[in-house]
């Protein structure tokens, strides 16, 4: 039995959260598994180790939670996020019943039209904050309408979603400050009823499914919670990253403009290049050996999605952003039984935004992006667009 290499890196230090990639490169060189005493975790750093772990829920269990503090893991008990088969199977089915691509097929036209109208309006104004005006506004509107949120709740969605992800981190000040706000979301979801959600919405459909016994009693509230907690924050990150990367690489935008069939691949490359989620956790259900080193049973594991996505053992020239690469097997949406449940909707939104940008914009002139450290989600806080060169 060989112990993994150790590093004094703190995955949740401000500078690492803001730009984790130099740290990821150093950890990857140490080994596929690196013990981080500062965070009491074993970090998975290389592509194959991460992909294998995501595919092996029996060893890398989610049942003891995916967060890095006991309070959040306790709060997640009973969700598909924090369970393993067989319990997970019914919870996941209830969550995806109205969220799978087959359920969303009718929405594409509406989402495309909204993205196009939004981008057209902004191109006409010429200067705006890309994060506020697109990355936050668009998923917020889509998810709110889909789930049927009305009135006051819409105003809370961004702050609630941010806090719900922040508390996945260890018990640092960011987590402590966010628990009360995440609690507001939790309480609201515990009390929400069918009539609080718009008629004909997916949210109301979930309550109707509960009424007719298609999903377990009491599961509607937690599902609404997951829509809100996962459906906004990470999509805001991904769409902000699309705009920032296409602005920073006008040659890559030009390739998409010339060949719109590159749109899905361009989104895959954005997700690969900048993973929206820095790290989520698992717990080893048994002792496991990876690349000749041993992780003990009952250990907390940190899955570094972005480190695997930049592993030169898997991707050639991994630090280059190239829309023609089409890395369909990137790790940013997870993989296997816990693969992102909202990825169908995320694709609809992201493809619509890339398509609208590619048709209407030749080049975006942007100022400096600012970032604020967040325990789980890596996203741009603001990105001023100074000038739009229209198509």
Q: How far is the CB of 103 from another protein (least distance, A)?
A: 8
Cβ proximity to another protein: between 41 and 230 the closer is 230
The smaller minimum CB distance to another protein, of residues 54 and 361, is found at 54
Q: Which stretch binds another protein (CB under 8 A): 39-47, 211-219, 327-335, 375-383?
A: 327-335
Q: Site for another protein (CB under 8 A): which residue of 12, 68, 160, 335?
A: 335
Structure-derived torsion over alpha carbons of residues 281, 284, 289, 291, reported in degrees to the nearest 10: -10
Q: In angstroms, what is the minimal distance from the CB of 342 to another protein?
A: 11
Q: Are strands 300-304 and 41-44 parallel, antiparallel or unpaired?
A: parallel
Q: How big is the CA angle at 65 (ends 63 and 71), to the nearest 5 degrees?
A: 135
From 237, 234, 220, select the one nearest 148 (Cα to Cα): 220
Q: Binding to another protein by residue 339, rule CB under 8 A?
A: yes
| Binds another protein by CB under 8 A, chosen from 100, 172, 294, 382 | 100
Least Å distance, CB 337 to another protein, is: 7
Out of 18, 38, 77, 93, the only residue in the binding site for another protein (CB under 8 A) is 93
Task: Tell me the closest approach of the beta carbon of residue 326 to another protein, in angstroms.
Answer: 10
Q: Does 329 bind another protein (CB under 8 A)?
A: yes
Backbone angles phi, psi at 388, to 5 degrees: -110, 120
* Cα(101)–Cα(113) distance, integer angstroms: 18
Report residue 354 as tokens: 């890339």
Binding of another protein by 328 (CB under 8 A): yes
- The 170-199 site mask, x for binding another protein (CB under 8 A), equals ------------------------------
Query: CA Rg, the chain, in Å?
Result: 20
Token pair 């805001």 is found at 236
* Burial bucket for residue 310 (CB in 10 Å: 0-12, 13-18, 19+): buried
Residue from 1, 102, 173, 212 in contact with another protein (CB under 8 A): 102
Nearest distance in Å: CB 104, another protein: 9
Closest CA to 323 of 258, 277, 376, 388: 258
Name the minimum Å distance from CB 328 to another protein.
5
Look-up of token digits 């929400």: 192
**Cα gap 355→310, rounded to integer Å:** 26
Please count the other Cβ atoms lying within 10 Å of the Cβ belonging to residue 145: 19
- Only one residue has tokens 């049927």, namely 148
Out of 25, 158, 337, 365, the residue judged to bind another protein by CB under 8 A = 337
Nearer to another protein, 55 or 250 (CB): 55
Interacting residue ranges for another protein, rule: CB under 8 A = 55, 89, 93, 96, 100-103, 105, 328-329, 333-337, 339-341, 343-344
């Amino acid at each position: 039995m060989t112990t993994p290499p150790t590093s004094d890196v703190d995955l949740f230090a401000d500078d690492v959260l803001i730009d984790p990639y130099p740290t990821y490169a150093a950890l990857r060189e140490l080994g596929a598994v690196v013990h981080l005493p500062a965070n009491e975790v074993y970090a998975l750093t290389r592509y194959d180790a991460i992909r294998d772990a995501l595919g092996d829920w029996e060893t890398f269990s989610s049942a003891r939670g995916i967060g890095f503090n006991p309070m959040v893991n306790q709060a997640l008990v009973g969700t598909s996020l924090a369970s393993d088969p067989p319990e997970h199977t019914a919870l996941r089915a209830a969550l995806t019943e109205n969220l799978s691509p087959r359920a969303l097929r009718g929405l594409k036209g509406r989402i495309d039209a909204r993205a196009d109208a939004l981008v057209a309006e902004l191109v006409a104004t010429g200067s705006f904050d890309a994060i506020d005006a697109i990355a936050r506004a668009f998923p917020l509107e889509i998810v709110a309408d889909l789930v049927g949120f009305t009135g006051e709740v819409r105003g809370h969605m961004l702050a609630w979603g941010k806090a719900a992800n922040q508390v996945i981190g260890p018990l640092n000040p960011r987590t402590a400050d966010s628990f009360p706000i995440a609690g507001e979301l939790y309480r609201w979801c515990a009390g929400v009823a069918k009539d609080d959600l718009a008629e004909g919405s997916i949210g109301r459909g979930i309550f109707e499914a509960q009424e007719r016994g298609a999903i377990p009693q009491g599961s509607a509230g937690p599902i609404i919670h997951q829509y809100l907690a996962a459906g906004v924050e990470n999509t805001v990150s991904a769409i902000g990253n699309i705009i920032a990367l296409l602005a920073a690489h006008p040659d890559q935008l030009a390739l998409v403009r010339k060949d719109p069939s590159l749109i899905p691949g361009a989104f895959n490359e954005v997700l690969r290049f900048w993973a929206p989620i820095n790290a989520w956790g698992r717990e080893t259900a048994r002792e496991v050996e990876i690349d000749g080193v041993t992780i003990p049973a009952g250990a907390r594991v940190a899955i570094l999605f972005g480190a695997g996505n930049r592993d030169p053992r898997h991707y050639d020239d991994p630090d280059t952003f190239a829309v023609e690469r089409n890395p369909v097997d990137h790790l940013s949406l997870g993989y296997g039984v816990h693969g992102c449940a909202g990825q169908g909707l995320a694709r609809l939104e992201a493809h619509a935004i890339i398509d609208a940008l590619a048709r209407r914009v030749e080049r975006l002139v942007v100022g400096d992006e600012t970032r604020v450290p967040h325990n789980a989600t890596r996203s741009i806080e603001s990105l001023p667009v100074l000038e739009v060169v229209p198509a």
